[in-house]
């Protein structure tokens, strides 16, 4: 049978043939484009890999000097050259600090794989120097094991740890723990009734402290504060004839002083509260005006017997202060003004002799202790401003949002002889009549011969004393 084509069939057939040719052409062009893109991607990827990172044939930790390689590494600890690159978990606890390369090359450190990556390699024959140093977070352990005392250890550590430690730049140039939650927890052997640690925290290293247990020598000593308060009580209360019953702001006879210290640090034998915390006893504590009191017990959280011989008796400055910036308050705390400058009135009737120093073991924090504990980028502003400003109190580890805290310092007030400074639970500094309630957090100094032997300063792994 013959095919019969009608007029116009040839034209239709040619049309279909043109469509097939166009399809083949489009397919060939598409394949060519894909191949070109693929080759370009491989070339770019290969070049990118070379310029971003390079694997080095390390031999004993060091690359041969331009002999078998275009790259040369030198390793340092400080300014001392090392024979080989420290391993990831080295005994000296060295960590990568920084690196420098010549010929414009850059260096990054892969902490997970413990190796360098070199970028921007336009030419060969490149020398890179890798610097390692001690990890300051565990330097205290090393200090303790190397027979250095804790005071020396803290002072040396301050030069490498600017995040947790800072000088207060006072005339005494004390070292302070700063920030919202620095690693400054310490286990001094204090235990509750169940044998669990009662932690303290390190305020810092204070210089020029008069050590009464060492012939009144001026020494550098570690100042500590209980991590938690022992409860809220009056700083002092009084009968209605003395300052209207609102308390007397003289620490040498204050009710809180007698509560937390041993009996040979005060003259009279109080009927209420005497040495209850020091002796881990129960009884009555002052808690309001006109000698109001309530039941209190320290049988579970009082001072442990084995801690008492670790505390040193020192001369505390108890000068009165007015509200001012922290630097000025530090000087006033050590000044000659007393808490009784008022000429008379309902709240200025006591006849107690005022002093500006007191000899004993435990007190409370100073307003300046709270102030100098601030960290963060607003630190300098905070030291001259109101601490209730956000960015100050929330970067201060001594702040407590749950309760106001008593300080050691009486107020120099023209109309009252019964006020002392508090740290409020809003973060500011204020004054209150001493009969009012406030958290009591004992503060003391450790003897100078202790060493840090373990721990990293966290609450889960506090520093431990030898």
Same domain, 154 and 127: no
Same domain, 153 and 129: no
Residue whose token pair is 């390692």 = 132
Looking at residue 118, its pLDDT comes to 79
**pLDDT for 132-175, tens place per residue?**
887 666 666 666 665 678 898 888 888 878 888 999 999 999 99
**pLDDT for 247-261, tens place per residue?**
999 999 999 999 999
Residue 118 lies in a domain: yes
Closest CA to 309 of 334, 278, 344, 336: 278
What is the distance between the alpha carbons of residues 381 and 72, in angstroms, rounded to a whole number?
47
What is the distance between the alpha carbons of residues 329 and 326, in angstroms, rounded to a whole number?
5
Looking at residue 156, its pLDDT comes to 85
Whether the CB-CB separation of 404 and 371 falls below 8 Å is answered with no
Same domain, 368 and 316: yes
Residue 416 lies in a domain: yes
For 259, the token pair is: 């509560």
Looking at residue 112, its pLDDT comes to 74
Return the SS3 of 264: helix
* Owning domain of residue 127: 71-134
Same domain, 244 and 103: no
- The percentage of the chain sitting over the pLDDT mark of 90, rounded to a whole number, equals 59
Same domain, 76 and 182: no
Is residue 57 predicted with pLDDT exceeding 90? Answer: no
Residue 310 lies in a domain: yes
Same domain, 112 and 152: no
Tell me how many domains the chain contains: 2
Q: How much is the average pLDDT of 174-178?
A: 96
Whether the CB-CB separation of 451 and 151 falls below 8 Å is answered with no
The per-residue pLDDT of the chain, averaged, comes to: 85
Same domain, 263 and 122: no
For 421, the token pair is: 């400074």
Top pLDDT among 121 and 183 is at: 183
Instruction: For the beta carbon of residue 378, count every other beta carbon within 10 angstroms.
Output: 15
Top pLDDT among 319 and 33 is at: 319
Q: Which of residues 81, 108, 134 is at a domain's end?
A: 134
Same domain, 193 and 228: yes
pTM, two decimals, is: 0.73
Same domain, 302 and 266: yes
Is residue 460 predicted with pLDDT exceeding 80? Answer: yes
What is the distance between the alpha carbons of residues 10 and 7, in angstroms, rounded to a whole number?
7
- In sequence order, the 6+-apart residues with CB closer than 8 A to the CB of 45 are none
pLDDT band at 239 (very low <50, low <70, confident <90, very high): very high
Whether the CB-CB separation of 244 and 347 falls below 8 Å is answered with yes
Residue 427 lies in a domain: yes
Same domain, 123 and 171: no
What is the distance between the alpha carbons of residues 99 and 106, in angstroms, rounded to a whole number?
8
Same domain, 126 and 245: no
Q: Are strands 115-119 and 443-445 parallel, antiparallel or unpaired?
A: unpaired
pLDDT band at 79 (very low <50, low <70, confident <90, very high): confident
Q: Which of residues 87, 105, 134 is at a domain's end?
A: 134
Residue 332 lies in a domain: yes
Residue 16 lies in a domain: no
Return the SS3 of 263: helix
Q: How many CA atoms lie within 13 A of 360 on its CB side?
A: 28
pLDDT band at 49 (very low <50, low <70, confident <90, very high): very low
Residue 24 lies in a domain: no
Measured over the CA atoms of residue 412, residue 416, residue 421 and residue 424, the dihedral's sign is negative
**pLDDT for 356-377, tens place per residue?**
999 999 999 999 999 999 998 8
Is residue 40 predicted with pLDDT exceeding 50? Answer: yes
Q: Which of residues 91, 108, 134 is at a domain's end?
A: 134
Looking at residue 41, its pLDDT comes to 55
Same domain, 113 and 230: no
Residue 195 lies in a domain: yes
Intra-chain end-to-end CA distance of the chain, in Å: 114
- In sequence order, the 6+-apart residues with CB closer than 8 A to the CB of 62 are 73, 74, 75, 83, 84, 85
Radius of gyration over every alpha carbon of the chain, rounded to an integer in angstroms: 36
Is residue 183 predicted with pLDDT exceeding 80? Answer: yes
Return the SS3 of 18: helix
């Amino acid at each position: 049978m013959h095919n019969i084509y009608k007029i116009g069939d040839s034209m239709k057939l040619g049309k279909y043939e043109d469509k097939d040719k166009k399809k083949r052409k489009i397919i060939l062009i598409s394949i060519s484009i894909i191949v070109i893109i693929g080759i370009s991607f491989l070339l770019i990827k290969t070049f990118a890999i070379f310029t971003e990172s390079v694997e080095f044939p390390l031999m004993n930790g060091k690359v041969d000097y331009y002999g078998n390689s275009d790259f040369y590494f030198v390793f340092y600890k400080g300014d001392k050259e090392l024979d080989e690159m420290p391993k990831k978990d080295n005994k000296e606890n060295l960590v990568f600090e920084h690196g420098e390369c010549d010929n414009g090359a850059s260096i990054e450190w892969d902490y997970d794989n413990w190796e360098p990556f070199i970028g921007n390699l336009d030419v060969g024959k490149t020398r890179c120097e890798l610097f390692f140093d001690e990890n300051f977070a565990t330097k205290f352990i090393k200090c303790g094991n190397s027979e250095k005392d804790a005071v020396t250890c803290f002072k040396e550590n301050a030069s490498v740890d600017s995040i947790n430690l800072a000088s207060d730049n006072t005339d005494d140039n004390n070292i302070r723990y700063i920030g919202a939650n620095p690693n400054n927890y310490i286990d001094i052997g204090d235990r509750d009734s169940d044998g669990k640690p009662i932690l303290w925290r390190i305020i810092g290293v204070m210089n020029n402290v008069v050590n009464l247990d060492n012939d009144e020598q001026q020494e550098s000593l570690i100042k500590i504060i209980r991590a938690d308060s022992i409860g809220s009580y009056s700083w002092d209360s009084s009968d209605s004839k003395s300052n209207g019953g609102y308390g007397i702001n003289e620490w040498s006879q204050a009710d809180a002083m007698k509560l937390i210290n041993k009996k040979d640090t005060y003259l009279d034998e109080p009927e209420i509260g005497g040495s209850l915390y020091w002796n881990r006893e129960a009884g009555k504590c002052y808690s309001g005006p006109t000698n109001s009191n309530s039941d209190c017990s320290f049988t579970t959280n009082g001072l442990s017997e084995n801690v008492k011989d670790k505390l040193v008796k020192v001369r505390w400055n108890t000068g009165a202060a007015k509200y001012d910036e922290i630097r000025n308050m530090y000087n006033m705390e050590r000044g000659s003004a007393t808490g009784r400058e008022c000429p008379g009135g309902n709240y200025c009737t006591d006849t107690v002799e005022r002093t500006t120093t007191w000899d004993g073991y435990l007190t409370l924090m100073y307003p300046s202790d709270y102030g100098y504990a601030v960290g963060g980028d607003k630190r300098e502003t905070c030291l001259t401003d109101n601490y209730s400003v956000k960015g100050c109190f929330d970067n201060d580890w001594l702040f407590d949002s749950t309760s106001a805290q008593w300080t050691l310092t009486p107020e120099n007030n023209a109309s009252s002889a019964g006020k002392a400074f508090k740290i409020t639970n809003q973060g500011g500094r204020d004054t209150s009549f001493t009969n009012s309630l406030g958290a009591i957090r004992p503060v003391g100094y450790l003897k100078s011969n202790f060493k840090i032997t373990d721990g990293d300063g966290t609450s889960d792994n506090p520093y431990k004393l030898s």
